[in-house]
């Protein structure tokens, strides 16, 4: 263990006395990362200004409404209202901030690399605005080396001698950059932040390290302090490891089906080994969301850029692509056509507890089903509004050619199932899990169910005379 380069700090014992508390913190970006971080930092006593360019979002937050669906978030916004400000005026937010968190998006580009233009915009705004020394903290997931570039970029854009409003130069302002990746999962983001397993801080100076330790002092959580590049890599390596774990269990599940083993029993047996652990071993129709698909591709891209082939991560990506349409393919083997069939689609979001659709299996399967002429009745407790924007409600009557399917959104699982010929389960929402095997038999025209989340016991479905297909089980 001697040559391990990180150190774990016990925050209570090593808090520098020199840095004030609470701090004035600005957070750029009010998505899942930015808003949740900002609200949790305020909950732990700091004064936080959340900045976003979206006027509509800012107006909502000023009225106490969270623009994203996230458990406990609105309650915490209300509780900490005195310490929270929401604004589109970045100058107001940055000029006197002690610490500026960057939590804007780094979306995937067509080649798999991360788009850093939003980060660059914020970095430039910071450079042009700050009026005192501050620490810029990159929370967004960024390729290794980005923090170095952000620091240089800010330095490049700090006002020079003789320039108008040359406040930065007059005061000899120092802006340092630190990496502080986040590990929150959507749906449990508030809890994941307040009760994080660890806080990773990546810094290149004692001052930056001490400032970040001070920010997190009131959280009383283990802090792992490393270099900036290691911190950036910890984030990718962690997410990609979890994606790999899911693709691995899905791969094994597919083999289980072929050899007559049961993936849930297999995963249970594996999980007792503490070296493996029992989390993230749920086989299903693949991982989605805004993180795993993007971060696996980004690391694969980074490796390629450096002349290395990251074969394990590549395999995880490939397995996941096939896994998402596995059930559709199975159904195609069972049915002559989807045309004229009522297809119940239960669950649209990439996982329960969120209205996020990014990379959700539903997005792959619904167009395939529509293309085959299916009449879809889709149910999701929170995802319909977002899904409808991509797939507006249609009906057969509107489409005289009758060659394409239709999609209708319903408010209950029962409505979706009533007289359906086939049912697909894409998300394991509680509202769906409470539907009993006998209900499928009772409600559907043909009790034919393809379950992408292994919600039901195979035996119970059999007892209720439901023709049931799931992942990795006979
Ligand atoms: C993920 C990580 O879990 C967070 O630690 C990380 O901070 C976050 O990405 C991020 O980088 O921002 P998230 O994408 O919100 O969080 O969702 P997860 O709960 O990790 O689920 C991701 C996908 O994996 C979902 O589609 C889920 O259905 C799937 N999954 C998860 C499985 O198929 N099987 C499992 O056993 C677990």
pLDDT tens for residues 2-23? 333 334 444 443 445 556 789 9
Q: What is the pLDDT of residue 3?
A: 33
Q: Is 236 in the pocket of ligand 1 (CB under 6 A)?
A: no
- Ligand 1 centroid–CA 395 distance in Å is 34
Q: Is 292 in the pocket of ligand 1 (CB under 6 A)?
A: yes
User: Could you tell me the two tokens for 397?
Assistant: 């009557």
Residues 6+ apart with CB under 8 A from 308: none
Hey, do 237-322 and 324-469 end up sharing a CATH topology, with the first three levels equal? no
- The answer to whether domain 237-322 has CATH 1.10.1040.10 is yes
Peptide bond into 236 cis (omega under 30): no
Question: 185, 290, 294, 295: which to mutate for ligand 1, most atoms within 8 A of CB?
Answer: 185
pLDDT digits (tens, 9 = 90+) for 116-141: 999 999 999 999 999 999 999 999 99
Judge contact between 178 and 137, C-beta under 8 A. yes
Question: 104, 351, 383: which to mutate for ligand 1, most atoms within 8 A of CB?
Answer: 351
Q: Determine the average pLDDT of the residues in 165-172.
A: 58
Least confident of 164-168, 183-187, 277-281, 465-469: 164-168
SS3 label, residue 69: coil
Q: What is the pLDDT of residue 142?
A: 93
Max mean pLDDT range (58-62, 139-143, 393-397): 58-62
Q: What is the pLDDT of residue 4?
A: 30
Q: Is 263 in the pocket of ligand 1 (CB under 6 A)?
A: no
- Ligand 1 centroid–CA 413 distance in Å is 25
- pLDDT tops 90 at residue 402: no
Residue closest to 299 by CA, chosen among 311, 285, 289, 287: 311
Instruction: Name the packing angle between helices 146-157 and 228-259 (round to 10°).
Output: 140
Q: What is the pLDDT of residue 2?
A: 32
- pLDDT tops 80 at residue 55: yes
Residue closest to 201 by CA, chosen among 189, 184, 215: 215
Q: What is the pLDDT of residue 325?
A: 98
- Ligand 1 centroid–CA 29 distance in Å is 21
Q: What is the pLDDT of residue 415?
A: 98
Q: What is the pLDDT of residue 111?
A: 86
Q: What percent of the chain has pLDDT above 70?
A: 92
- Ligand 1 centroid–CA 68 distance in Å is 17
pLDDT digits (tens, 9 = 90+) for 70-96: 889 999 999 999 999 999 999 999 999
Residue closest to 93 by CA, chosen among 46, 24, 34: 24
Q: What is the pLDDT of residue 353?
A: 87
Least confident of 186-190, 340-344, 452-456: 186-190
Is 291 among the residues known to form the active site? yes
Q: Where is 29: in which H helix or E strand?
A: none
- pLDDT tops 70 at residue 403: no
Question: Looking at the domain covering 324-469, what would its CATH class be?
Answer: alpha beta
* Domain locations in the chain as residue ranges: 11-226, 237-322, 324-469
Q: What is the pTM of this model?
A: 0.91
Number of neighbours of residue 427 by Cβ within 10 angstroms:
29
Q: Determine the average pLDDT of the residues in 347-352.
A: 96
Sign of CA dihedral 146, 147, 152, 157: positive
Which protein residue's CA is at the shortest distance from atom 34 of ligand 1? 282
Residue closest to 240 by CA, chosen among 295, 303, 190: 295
Q: Is 141 in the pocket of ligand 1 (CB under 6 A)?
A: yes
Q: What is the pLDDT of residue 1?
A: 33
d(CA 439, CA 417): 9
Q: Is 351 in the pocket of ligand 1 (CB under 6 A)?
A: yes
pLDDT digits (tens, 9 = 90+) for 241-255: 999 999 999 999 999
pLDDT digits (tens, 9 = 90+) for 275-295: 999 999 999 999 999 999 999
Q: Given pLDDT bands bounded at 50, 70 and 90, which one contains residue 109?
A: confident
Residue closest to 405 by CA, chosen among 421, 429, 418, 417: 421
- pLDDT tops 70 at residue 105: yes
Per residue in 261-270, is it b (16+ CB within 10 Å) or e — as a string? bbbbebbeee
Q: What is the pLDDT of residue 10?
A: 44
- pLDDT tops 60 at residue 256: yes
On average, the pLDDT of the chain sits at 92
Residues 6+ apart with CB under 8 A from 299: 236, 237, 240, 310, 313
Question: Looking at the domain covering 11-226, what would its CATH class be?
Answer: alpha beta
Which protein residue's CA is at the shortest distance from atom 25 of ligand 1? 287
User: Which one of the listed residues 50, 291, 332, 423 is annotated catalytic?
Assistant: 291
Q: Determine the average pLDDT of the residues in 306-314.
A: 97
Q: Given pLDDT bands bounded at 50, 70 and 90, which one contains residue 195?
A: very high
Residue closest to 224 by CA, chosen among 238, 241, 203: 203
Which protein residue's CA is at the shortest distance from atom 5 of ligand 1? 183
pLDDT digits (tens, 9 = 90+) for 201-232: 999 999 999 999 999 999 999 999 999 999 99
Judge contact between 440 and 417, C-beta under 8 A. yes
- Ligand 1 centroid–CA 288 distance in Å is 7
Which protein residue's CA is at the shortest distance from atom 3 of ligand 1? 185
Q: Determine the average pLDDT of the residues in 421-436.
A: 98
Q: What percent of the chain has pLDDT above 90?
A: 85
d(CA 297, CA 254): 23
Q: What is the pLDDT of residue 60?
A: 97
Q: Given pLDDT bands bounded at 50, 70 and 90, which one contains residue 161?
A: low
Provide the strand spans (E) within 120-214: 134-138, 175-179, 199-202
């Amino acid at each position: 263990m001697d040559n391990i380069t990180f150190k774990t700090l016990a925050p209570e014992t090593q808090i520098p006395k020199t840095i004030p508390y609470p701090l004035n913190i600005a957070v750029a970006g009010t998505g899942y990362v930015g808003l949740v971080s900002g609200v949790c930092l305020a909950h732990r006593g700091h004064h936080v200004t959340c900045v976003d360019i979206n006027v509509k979002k800012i107006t909502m937050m000023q009225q106490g409404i969270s623009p994203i669906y996230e458990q406990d978030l609105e309650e915490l916004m209300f509780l900490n209202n005195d310490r929270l400000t929401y604004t589109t005026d970045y100058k107001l937010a940055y000029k006197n901030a002690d610490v500026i968190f960057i939590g804007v998006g780094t979306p995937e580009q067509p080649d798999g690399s991360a788009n850093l233009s939003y980060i660059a915009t914020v970095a430039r705004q910071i450079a042009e605005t700050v009026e005192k020394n501050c620490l810029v903290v990159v929370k967004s997931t960024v390729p290794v080396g980005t923090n170095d570039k952000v620091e240089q970029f800010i330095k490049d854009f700090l006002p020079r001698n003789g320039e108008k409003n040359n406040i930065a130069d007059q005061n000899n302002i120092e802006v340092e950059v630190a990496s502080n990746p986040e590990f929150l999962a959507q749906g449990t983001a508030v809890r994941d932040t307040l009760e994080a397993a660890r806080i990773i801080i990546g810094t290149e100076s004692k001052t930056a390290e001490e400032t970040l330790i001070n920010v997190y002092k009131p959280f009383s959580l283990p802090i792992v302090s490393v270099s900036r590049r290691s911190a950036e890599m910890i984030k990718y390596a962690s997410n990609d490891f979890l994606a790999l774990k899911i693709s691995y269990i899905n791969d094994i599940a597919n083999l289980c089906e072929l050899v007559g083993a049961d993936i849930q029993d297999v995963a249970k047996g594996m999980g007792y080994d503490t070296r493996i652990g029992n989390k993230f071993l749920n086989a299903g129709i693949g991982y989605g969301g805004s993180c795993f698909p993007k971060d696996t591709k980004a690391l694969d891209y980074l490796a390629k850029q450096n002349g290395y082939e990251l074969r394990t991560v590549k395999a995880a990506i490939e397995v996941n692509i096939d896994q998402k349409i596995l059930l559709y393919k199975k159904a195609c083997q069972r049915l002559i056509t989807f045309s004229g069939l009522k297809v119940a689609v239960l669950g649209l979001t990439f996982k329960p507890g969120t209205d996020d659709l990014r990379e959700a299996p539903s997005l792959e399967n619904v167009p395939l089903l529509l293309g085959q002429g299916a009449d879809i009745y889709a149910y999701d407790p929170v995802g319909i509004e977002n899904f409808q924007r991509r797939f507006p409600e249609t009906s057969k009557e509107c489409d005289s050619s009758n060659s394409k399917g239709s999609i209708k959104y319903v408010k209950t699982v029962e409505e979706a199932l009533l007289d359906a010929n086939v049912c697909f389960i894409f998300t394991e929402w509680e509202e769906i899990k409470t539907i009993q095997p006998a209900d499928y038999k009772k409600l559907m025209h043909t009790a034919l169910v393809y379950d992408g989340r292994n919600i039901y016991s195979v035996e119970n479905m059999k007892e209720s005379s439901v023709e049931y297909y799931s992942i990795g089980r006979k």
